[in-house]
Amino acid sequence: MAESSENEKELIFRNISPEEAYELIGKVQAVPDFVILDVRTPKEFINGHIEGAVNIDYHGQNFIEELEKLEKETKYLICCGSGVRASKAMIIMQELGYMEVYNILGGIRMWKRSGYPLTEE
C-alpha cells in the first residue's frame, strides 16, 4: 500500500464568492487550522470585520514579516475592503509557500452587500 506524503498535498489558491466564503466558514470555523485573515488597516478592521478574523495590515511596514510568522499548512480565508489587497496578499502567500488560501471576491463590501454579518468586537 502506497503512503501519501505531505509533498503531494494539492496547493489551493482560489477566489470565492461571499456565499462560498460563508459556507466555508460554517464548515471549518471550529477547526484549529483555519484562519480568517483581514488585510485591511486597523481602522477599517475595528469598524467591522468577520467574526474571529485576525488583522494584518497589507500596507503595514511589517506585512511580509507578519505573514512569515504564520503557519503555512493552515487554511486561510483572506479579505480586504474590495478584494484588491487580498488578491495581492494571496499572491504573496503563494510565493511564501502557503498551501491553501481563499480570497473573498469583492471583499468586505460584497460580504456586507450579500447580507452576511460583521462584528466590531
Determine the pLDDT at residue 2.
44
Task: Say how far apart CA 116 and CA 15 lie, in whole Å.
Answer: 18
In the chain, where the domains are located: 11-113
What are the pLDDT digits (tens) for 39-94? 999 999 999 999 999 999 999 999 999 999 999 999 999 999 999 999 999 999 99
CA distance 101 to 49: 18
Whether residue 32 is predicted with pLDDT greater than 90 in this model: the reply is no
d(CA 111, CA 21): 9
Cα separation of 87 and 103, whole Å? 7
CATH number of 11-113: 3.40.250.10
Read off the DSSP letter of residue 30. Answer: T
